[in-house]
Amino acid sequence: MPARTSHAELLGLRDARPVDVTNHWRSDGPLAPVIGVGANGTMVVDLERDGPHLLVVGGRGSGKSEQLASIVLSLAATQAPEHLHLVVWGESFTHLNRLPHVASSANRIDDATVGMFLDGVERELARRE
| pLDDT per position as a tens digit, 6-38 | 878 888 888 888 888 888 887 777 888 888 888
For residue 93, the model assigns a pLDDT of: 87
For residue 51, the model assigns a pLDDT of: 74
Low-confidence residues in the chain, pLDDT < 70 = 1
For residue 18, the model assigns a pLDDT of: 83
In terms of Cβ atoms closer than 10 Å to its own Cβ (0-12, 13-18, 19+), residue 15 is: exposed
CA gap 46, 36 in Å, rounded: 13
For residue 62, the model assigns a pLDDT of: 92
For residue 59, the model assigns a pLDDT of: 92
